[in-house]
């Protein structure tokens, strides 16, 4: 089955965003330098990318947190939550366009989940 360009683009955007969040977290929490990640953060990034590559719901989902199937192992899920709790609010300062897009998509998804569209 061939993946459409739209789905591949969405997958790449998701991978880019999670990479930026993990890099920000590692830089601030683990004092990494020059965009290099510590071993744990690199492992988390690789895992997140792998999960994204295998996601069968990429076409319809917006965020993993709203997915009905949680494909992350519990330990990795907690790690990514920690990264997102830390990096999420700071993204507005480091990657404002990504943060604004996320806010818009979150608002849109909330409306769809509530059935108020």
Q: Tell me the average pLDDT across 43-48.
A: 98
Report helix, strand or coil for 10.
helix
Please write the tens of the pLDDT for every residue from 60-113. Answer: 877 777 777 889 999 999 999 999 999 999 999 999 999 999 888 878 877 776
* Total domains, the chain: 1
State the pLDDT confidence band at 15, using cuts at 50, 70 and 90.
very high
A 10 A CB-CB count for 3 gives 12
Match 């949680």 to its residue by tokens: 70
Domain carrying residue 71: 5-114
- Residue whose tokens read 């330098």: 33
The owner of tokens 């999420």 is 88
Other CB atoms within a 10 A radius of the CB of residue 38 amount to 14
Kindly indicate the confidence band of residue 2, based on its pLDDT and cuts at 50, 70 and 90. Answer: low
Average per-residue pLDDT in the chain?
A: 88
């Amino acid at each position: 089955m061939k993946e459409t360009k739209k789905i591949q683009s969405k997958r790449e955007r998701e991978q880019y965003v999670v990479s930026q969040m993990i890099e920000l977290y590692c830089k601030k929490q683990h004092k990494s330098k020059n965009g290099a990640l510590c071993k744990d953060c690199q492992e988390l990034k690789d895992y997140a990318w792998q999960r994204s590559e295998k996601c069968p719901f990429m076409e319809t989902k917006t965020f993993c947190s709203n997915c009905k199937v949680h494909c992350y192992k519990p330990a990795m899920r907690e790690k990514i939550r920690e990264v997102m709790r830390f990096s999420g609010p700071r993204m507005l300062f480091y990657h404002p366009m990504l943060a604004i897009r996320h806010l818009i998509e979150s608002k849109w998804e909330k409306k769809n989940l509530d059935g108020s569209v």
